């Protein structure tokens, strides 16, 4: 006896299917689907002799029909396409998803299980639920166990009766993009740590030890993070134009000791890069006229300039025994890393510059040792005063005397130091600039980082400023209020992101306390970082100056002078 013909009925109920066939219902094998999506799931799993679709579902069935006609196109896509029901069960999928899952049959499987139960990274941690609940598309990023990342975009299928119960989900492999982002973040973090030495560590290290530590850190990150084995760094002597070797690993001795100048011709790729400030990718050393032999058997090289504030201070070169070993990504990674290398080298130069006399060094050490503890005394005193103002006049008066004495101590030490230390004792890369407009100006520096506060003393007091610091916005507000009877601070420099307040809100507090529309404020921020659009809002409210980290000494001085309304400095 032959099998009964199998018919798929897509309608609102099984009774409707039976009514449509009437008495002949017993002659057929009837499979009931409550909507076209369920019908699609059946069609992908089983063979049918006929399909019946009720008039209520004709439009949707027509659209699904077109979807099935394009199945070959969907299977050929590099992205995955999945049809899910409200329980995240796969009703249909293209070949790409099957390849990613490593399974031939996925129908009826939970989507997340099929993808290896990945971690949902956001921004939407329930993208499928959100899409069904809101009727609008939602997306998120998934991380699988095998270091693969997928971006999913879920769009609800709008159905004629009631809310959506099915989703069309596209899946894209974004592993390369995510891994590149992670590597960029790691490279930037490594660069920030190159010259990250505490004052205690610096005091125990000689100039040679500091240089060797920096070279060791550069080599470690270059080999372990960037995976470059052959490394050469040269620094540019601005007076002679000569490129002096700083670090050489894997280079032939003759190449490492070769005399090179920052000239575009007859000085190899290194001289060309130093002269033009442009990176150079040598894909095949045997065919490149600029290349001079470096590492033994090198077939390709990548050279980028060490640039500090648009000024070339040296070159960074890596080589490989394989031709075309370096990609555009390698170039991007190395350019990012070398920006931090240049900053670290510059910081090192400022830190290790030799003093002109032992007396000057002693005075500077004494002043550095006193500045921060005195700031702490000032901070504690103003905090106490805030508690007793209006309650204990005698206590407040005594605290005010303590503040005056602490400030006097700082000024005496600074005055003695300026008399003892000759001008040439200060490590200046450029001729020392006289900035008379900064002399005896009171500056408040507000930053959570103690290194920044310490540097503020070292840099600004060199030009005669009277510097006080605070670690947060609350203490800074107290100090500003306390200083008003003495004439107030001439300039306030604050980080845009203090631990207890944003730069913009801090500015509003100052306006309220000082009762002036334009406060003498400089906000410090990193490039591209502006939480809550503080800079934009502060500028609209009258902010006078913004200082972008990392900054040069002259940029710091110019910002202070801008707020003070002082004309440009005079070089001597």
- What does the pLDDT look like over 211-223, one tens digit per residue? 676 777 777 777 6
Strand partners, 443: 467, 491
**What are the φ/ψ torsions at residue 368 (nearest 5 degrees)?**
-65, -35
Q: Is the pLDDT of residue 366 over 70?
A: no
Q: What percent of the chain stands above pLDDT 90?
A: 13
**What are the φ/ψ torsions at residue 483 (nearest 5 degrees)?**
-80, -15
Domains of the chain: 6-69 (3.40.50), 75-173 (3.30.450.20), 184-352 (3.30.450.40), 358-571 (3.40.50.2300)
Q: Which of 300, 306, 301 is nearest to 277 (CA)?
A: 306
Taking CA atoms, 314 is separated from 163, 270, 503, in Å, by 64, 9, 36
Cβ(217)–Cβ(193) below 8 Å? yes
The encoded tokens of residue 356 equal 């002109």
Q: Is the pLDDT of residue 8 over 70?
A: yes
Indicate the SS3 state at residue 298.
coil
Select the more confidently predicted residue: 279 or 29: 279
- What does the pLDDT look like over 182-227, one tens digit per residue? 666 665 565 555 555 555 555 566 656 666 767 777 777 776 666 7
- What does the pLDDT look like over 268-301, one tens digit per residue? 999 999 999 999 999 999 999 999 998 899 999 9
Q: What is the pLDDT of residue 241?
A: 92
- What does the pLDDT look like over 390-419, one tens digit per residue? 556 666 677 667 766 666 666 665 555 555
Cβ(5)–Cβ(50) below 8 Å? yes
Mean pLDDT of the residues in the chain: 76
**0.75 exceeded by pTM:** no
**What are the φ/ψ torsions at residue 544 (nearest 5 degrees)?**
-95, -30
Q: Is the pLDDT of residue 68 over 90?
A: no
> What H or E segment, with its residue span, contains residue 247?
strand 243-249
Select the more confidently predicted residue: 139 or 425: 139
If you average pLDDT over each of 161-170, 402-411, 548-557, which comes out highest? 548-557
Q: Confidence band (pLDDT; 50, 70, 90) for 430?
A: very low
Q: What is the pLDDT of residue 357?
A: 38
Contacts of 504 (CB under 8 A, 6+ apart): 532, 534, 535, 537, 538, 541
Taking CA atoms, 501 is separated from 262, 504, 550, in Å, by 47, 8, 22
Contacts of 8 (CB under 8 A, 6+ apart): 31, 33, 39, 42, 43, 48, 50, 51, 52
Select the more confidently predicted residue: 369 or 458: 458
Neighbour-count burial of 370, counting CB atoms closer than 10 A to its CB (0-12 exposed, 13-18 middle, 19+ buried) = middle
**Window from 237-241, 432-436, 443-447, 454-458 with minimum mean pLDDT:** 432-436
What is the sign, positive or negative, of the torsion defined by CA atoms of 483, 488, 490, 495?
positive
Neighbour-count burial of 517, counting CB atoms closer than 10 A to its CB (0-12 exposed, 13-18 middle, 19+ buried) = exposed
The encoded tokens of residue 395 equal 């206590």
135-144 LR contacts (CB < 8 Å, sep 24+): 135/163, 135/164, 141/174, 141/178, 142/115, 142/118, 143/118, 143/119, 143/178, 144/115, 144/116, 144/118
CA 466 – CA 482 distance, rounded (Å): 16
């Amino acid at each position: 006896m032959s099998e009964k013909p199998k018919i798929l009925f897509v309608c609102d109920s099984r009774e409707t299917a039976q009514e449509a066939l009437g008495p002949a219902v017993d002659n057929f094998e009837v499979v009931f689907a409550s909507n076209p999506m369920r019908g699609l799931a059946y069609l992908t799993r089983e063979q049918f002799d006929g399909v019946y679709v009720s008039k209520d579902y004709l439009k949707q069935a027509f659209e699904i029909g077109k979807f099935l006609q394009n199945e070959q196109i969907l299977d050929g896509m590099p992205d995955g396409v999945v049809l899910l029901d409200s329980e995240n069960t796969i009703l249909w999928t293209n070949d790409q998803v099957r390849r990613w899952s490593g399974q031939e049959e996925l129908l009826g499987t939970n989507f997340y299980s099929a993808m290896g139960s990945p971690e949902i990274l956001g921004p939407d941690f329930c993208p499928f639920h959100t899409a069904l609940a809101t009727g609008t598309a939602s997306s998120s990023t998934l991380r699988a166990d095998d270091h693969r990342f997928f971006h999913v975009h879920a769009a609800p299928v709008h159905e004629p009766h009631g809310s959506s119960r099915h989703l069309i989900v596209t899946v894209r492999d974004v592993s390369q993009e995510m891994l590149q982002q992670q590597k960029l973040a790691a490279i930037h973090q490594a660069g920030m740590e190159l010259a990250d030495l505490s004052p205690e560590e610096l005091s125990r290290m000689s100039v040679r030890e500091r240089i060797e530590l920096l070279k060791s850190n550069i080599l470690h990150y270059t080999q372990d993070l960037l995976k470059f084995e052959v490394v050469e760094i040269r620094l540019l002597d601005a007076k002679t134009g000569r490129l002096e070797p700083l670090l050489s690993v894997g280079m032939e001795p003759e190449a490492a000791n070769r005399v090179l100048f920052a000239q575009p011709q007859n000085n190899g790729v290194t001289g060309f890069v130093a002269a033009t400030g442009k990176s150079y990718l040598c894909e095949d050393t045997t065919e490149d006229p600029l290349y001079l032999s470096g590492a033994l058997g090198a077939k390709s090289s990548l050279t980028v300039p060490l640039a500090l504030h648009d000024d070339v201070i040296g070159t960074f070169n890596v080589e490989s025994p394989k031709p075309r070993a370096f990609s555009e990504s390698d170039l991007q990674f190395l350019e990012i890393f070398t920006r931090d290398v240049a900053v670290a080298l510059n910081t090192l130069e400022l830190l290790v510059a030799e003093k002109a006399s032992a007396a000057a060094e002693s005075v500077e050490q004494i002043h550095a040792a006193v500045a921060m503890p005195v700031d702490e005394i000032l901070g504690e005193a103003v905090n106490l005063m805030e508690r007793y103002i209006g309650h204990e006049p005698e206590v407040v008066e005594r605290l005010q005397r303590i503040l005056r004495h602490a400030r006097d101590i700082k000024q005496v030490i600074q005055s003695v130091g300026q008399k003892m230390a000759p001008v040439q004792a200060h490590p200046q890369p450029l001729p020392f600039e006289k900035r008379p407009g900064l002399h005896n100006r009171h500056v408040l520096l507000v930053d959570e980082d103690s290194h920044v506060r310490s540097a503020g003393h070292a840099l600004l007091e060199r030009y005669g400023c009277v510097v006080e610091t605070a670690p947060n916005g609350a203490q800074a507000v107290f100090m500003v209020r306390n200083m008003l009877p003495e004439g107030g601070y001439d300039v306030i420099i604050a980080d845009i992101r203090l631990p207890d307040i944003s730069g913009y809100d801090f500015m509003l507090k100052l306006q309220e306390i000082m009762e002036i529309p334009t406060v003498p404020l400089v906000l410090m921020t990193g490039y591209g970082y502006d939480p809550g659009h503080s800079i934009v809002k502060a500028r609209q409210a009258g902010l006078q100056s913004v200082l972008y980290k990392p900054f040069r000494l002259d940029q710091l001085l110019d910002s202070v002078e801008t707020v003070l309304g002082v004309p440009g400095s005079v070089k001597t």
